Amino acid sequence: MKDIKKVILAYSGGLDTSIIIPWLKENYGCEVIAVAGDVGQGEELEPLNEKAIKTGASKLYIEDLKKELVEDVIFECLKANALYENKYLLGTAFARPIIAKRLVEIAKKEGADAIVHGCTGKGNDQVRFELAIKAFAPDMKIIAPWRIWDIKSRDEEIDYAEKRNIDIPLTRETNYSKDKNLWHLSHEGLDLENPANEPNYDKILEMSVTPEKAPDKSTYINIYFEQGIPKKLDGVEYNSVEMVKKLNEIGGANGIGIIDLVENRLVGMKSRGVYETPGGTILYYAHREIESVCLDKETSHYKDLLGQKLGEILYYGQWYTPLREAICSFVNKTQENVTGEVKLKLYKGNIITAGISSPYSLYDEEIATFDKDEVYNQKDSEGFINLYSLPITVMAKKYNKK
């Protein structure tokens, strides 16, 4: 402990990091520099400077990482249609590598002896933070209080805070664990820990309304993609961050993107949470639709396999690895002609395709038509089927003799 003179703390102002600052000073006697990554938390960031200094930090960095988050991570996964376990849109996982990378940059700038995070020993985030830190500072010491202190529960954390008059952003009765960024908002804990309990959506939702409370009238939107990246909404060009924000507003108002999910954490246990991802749900749906007319069958099917793998790589904290870079290189090649517009109808939690157009569309109406055509000779299919079925035919003749 004596060699720890200055540390960088990944700071959110939540329960964990609120008590970690005084805990570090009590147990290490070190200087604590707090770093908050602005990944779209909004008003949550406003009181952090005063709070961090009041609880013992020597200074606070608030780093605007929103553009980097969207363009360097989220859109790379969007182009791959990357999900985790076919359902989770990776909201929490997206932000971690970007934040950890900036922690290392500031630690080097400040000459810190260690980086500290408030992740529990049960969660995924400890792995995501530490693998990213090791990618950029392999010899940096890492302190994870949850793995070494005597505190065993969130109630004990609250006790610790109350004894030291530390202001915390929750009570014992509203002690949901939340993670918010530009892409999503997650809710875990309390009654949600039992998968048999239906979530009280009216109580917990913040980005969205329930489908029942969404308008009785459909909302139509048009999203224009250029090489797999959303560029325009209803004919208006938006930058990456504003595109996500605008779609969050539209999707949230229509009850889009509310997911109740039981997932397999990296450490092996199952966890249950409610996720709000309104804009992201729209973008993933729309991107798949534009790809449906722009990609050939073999590329599309193989890309699905790599998209699933990319989702796992991000979820498991392996973003800064050669495999991730190689997969993204492949995906970016597939997106060269993924350009065009998707028209969607949003209605009470549903997304319905209302039209797809692209100058690179591989859909040929003359070939696909059920009417008479002059470009497809249906007699050709007989020879194709004979060749395609040859292995089956040979096996049937061989084994049916017995």
Catalytic site positions: 16, 96, 125, 177
Is 61 labelled a binding residue?
no
Is 13 labelled a binding residue?
yes
- C-alpha 148/C-alpha 146 separation (Å) is 6
Is 12 labelled a binding residue?
yes
Q: Which residues contact 283 (CB under 8 A, 6 or more apart)?
A: 78, 223, 230, 244, 247
Is 88 labelled a binding residue?
yes
HSE-up of residue 127 (Cα within 13 Å, Cβ side): 17
Is 275 labelled a binding residue?
yes
Structure tokens at 23: 């805990």
Count how many residues are written for the chain. Answer: 402
Is 118 labelled a binding residue?
yes
Provide the Cα torsion 22, 267, 199, 168; round to 10°: 0
CA-nearest of 304, 286, 291, 297 to 358 is 291
Burial class (CB in 10 A: 0-12, 13-18, 19+), 399: exposed
- C-alpha 341/C-alpha 286 separation (Å) is 9
User: Which three-class secondary structure state does DSSP give residue 312?
Assistant: helix
Contact 335, 227 (CB under 8 A): yes
Is 144 labelled a binding residue?
no
Q: What angle do CA 213, 218, 224 make, to 5 degrees?
A: 120
Is 347 labelled a binding residue?
no
Is 272 labelled a binding residue?
no
Is 17 labelled a binding residue?
yes
Q: How far is CA 341 from the centre of its chain?
A: 24
Is 340 labelled a binding residue?
no
**Scanning the structure block, which residue is given the tokens 């954390």?**
157
- C-alpha 222/C-alpha 230 separation (Å) is 10
Is 329 labelled a binding residue?
no
- Residues in a beta bridge with 342: 223, 356
Structure tokens at 250: 């539209």
Is 16 labelled a binding residue?
yes
To the nearest 10 degrees (0 to 180), the angle between helices 390-399 and 380-388 is: 50
What letter does residue 182 receive in the DSSP assignment? S
User: Which residue ranges are tagged as binding site for L-citrulline?
Assistant: 88, 124, 128, 177, 186, 263, 275
Annotated binding site for ATP: 10-18, 118
